[in-house]
Amino acid sequence: MIATRKKEIRREVLKKRDNLSLKERLERSGQICDNLMNLAEFQQARVVHFFLTTKSEVMTEEAIRRAQSLGKEVVVPVIDKGERRICLSKLEDYDQELTMMPHGIPEPKPEYNRCVPLSYVDLMILPGVAFDIQGHRLGYGAGYYDRMFRDEVERPLLVALAFEVQIVDDIPVGDHDVRVDKIITEKRIVECE
């Protein structure tokens, strides 16, 4: 039942997100980036994890570049499909170090893979398909982020970047689903309950 409902929400929200024009996504991503930069927790963070944009997600390149220009260390995910986990890798040069992977997501080239533990990160910027204002997150179904946080006693602040069309009334959750602390859209910052 939960899996079926998640699949329906995923399909509906992805359709709405995919229907945003490139111009709309660029403008809204810029507004989301501005909202992130104004967040006190972002300003205080020394090390920030960013996802690297794929398909119609919020575009993170501007936010990554701005974070680095402010002197912050940036960490990005590297997916290990065999182990079904994410490695967190320091990113120093956006233009030189990234390459498009077969699964359609940019990642650091192997020679630039500089893995760090989750405890190294102060603030995690997360992707997702859909969110509700309680902080429940619906991802793409692989569970990489949920598995990363499941075994951690302490975790950094979790902030999701999403277009307003990705906010839904309610997301069904299982025991393994991890909630985010804040959601930033082009219109608001949601403090999750």
Task: Report CA Rg, the chain.
Answer: 16
- Can you give the pTM of this predicted structure? 0.93
Residues 6+ apart with CB under 8 A from 14: 56, 129
For the chain (length 193 residues), average pLDDT per consecutive 10?
Answer: 85 95 96 96 97 94 96 94 86 94 88 93 95 91 79 86 96 82 96 86
Q: Are 177 and 136 in contact (CB under 8 A)?
A: yes
For residue 40, give the DSSP letter.
H
pLDDT at residue 157 in the model: 93
pLDDT at residue 35 in the model: 97
Given the candidates 3.90.550.10, 3.40.50.300, 3.30.1330.30, 3.40.50.10420, the CATH classification of the domain at 2-191 is 3.40.50.10420
